[in-house]
Structure 1
Amino acid sequence: MTKDISELVVKNAHQDWGTFIDASSVLQSACSFHCPHVVFTHGNGAPVGWFMQHVILGSLNYLHVQPEYRGQGLGKKLVSILSKEVLDRDGVSFIHVSPDNKVSVKIHEDLGYVDVGAFSFSIMLPE
């Protein structure tokens, strides 16, 4: 299942961010070692949506609900479950959300998250 989710995360990242050198191994490594998943599955075991947590930083990342399941409140439920778990364990929770992702911003605001500022990052790989 983790391999399947990692492959879907890579596919979605490529769609959202474009491709870069060795994107698959970089993202799959992050998914496998640093970001446990909360996954909703369909009765047949197919992933419906997921959310990942960076265990070292405590940040919540990569909310995704497959297109055919959107609009049913699954994303909000997924965020709610993992946010509560992280808050109970660590006492703090933060989420990276692109300001352009209006749906995700709305989900997080509805759950009580507030915008405290922006940051940017670069992905760097050795030559």
Structure 2
Amino acid sequence: MTTIFAKMLIAAEGFLTAYRSDLTEHDAACCAKLKAGDAGVWICRPSGTSMITFPTPFAEAEINQLAAFQSNMIHVHAIHPGAHWYTFTVTQDGGIGHLTPVSATGAMLFTAKRIEEVNRRPIAPVRLAA
């Protein structure tokens, strides 16, 4: 069973030529925390990477982070039209799962679906002190 990070290393080989620490430090640290049920988007371009994870459970406060990343994806697509886009899903703790190449649109739809799931999740009622 191969980790998502190992798959990222293979996908980046020969394509990521600058800012490799985006992958080897930042993305590696994020991947080390992945557990079953998590998902996310990873973007690889010659000059670095971008990654966002959708942890399970997803904290309501993290919705702003998703919206900011969605905006960043539009920017990356405009500036780096040749970027490689991926979604990932974690099937087992330890960051084991699937890294799937997708279009920029596919990654944006994947993120929008996650935002929708978070927004539809029931929120616990507020309890007022007596």
TM-score by length of 1: 0.37
TM-score by length of 2: 0.36
Greater RCO structure (CA 8 Å; 6+ sep): 2
Could you say which structure has the higher strand fraction? 2
